[in-house]
Amino acid sequence: MGWILVLAALPATASVGLERWRAASGRDAPAVAEEGYILVDAARRLAAQRPDLLWVDARAETDFMEDHIEGAVHLPLSAWDAGFAELLARWSPDVPVVVYCDSQACAASEKVAERLRAELGVDNVWALQGGWKTWRETEAEQ
């Protein structure tokens, strides 16, 4: 019974977080797939509307060096201090942040997004649903 109540509260929790971001930024919040995640199409629209959007790549350094979204900050959990310092140099509370890792099976983006929300004290941080793989697959459609 307790799990049912928790699961029922999740959409409301996401809605409250988005409402706080909307009120604080004066902007419409992007479409989310579920709490803490943003769909690739919504992330692309948000990036077009907000050129200051901050991309965060949570993948391994070798993957980041091979290719990444232009302007992304490299912030894997294993190198948090160095990446977090770079992020802070480019971030302000009203700047939306989208974190990505390899694919939907990778949990790094979710963990990094959660830590960023906690350490920055903001709600406008999302993990990219589908990650880098989905981003690249849909790139040709743009």
Asked whether the predicted pLDDT for residue 93 surpasses 70, the reply is yes
pLDDT above 70 covers a percentage of the chain that reads: 74
Q: In what order do the strands lie in the sheet with 125-128?
A: 37-38, 125-128, 97-100, 54-57, 73-74
Give the per-residue pLDDT at 56.
Answer: 98
Question: Which carries the bigger pLDDT value, residue 77 or residue 17?
Answer: 77
Grade residue 15 by pLDDT with cuts at 50, 70 and 90.
very low
Q: Residue 23: its pLDDT value, please?
A: 44
Residues ≥6 apart with Cβ < 8 Å to 38: 30, 31, 32, 46, 98, 126, 127, 128, 129
Query: What is the pTM (predicted TM-score) of this model?
Result: 0.77
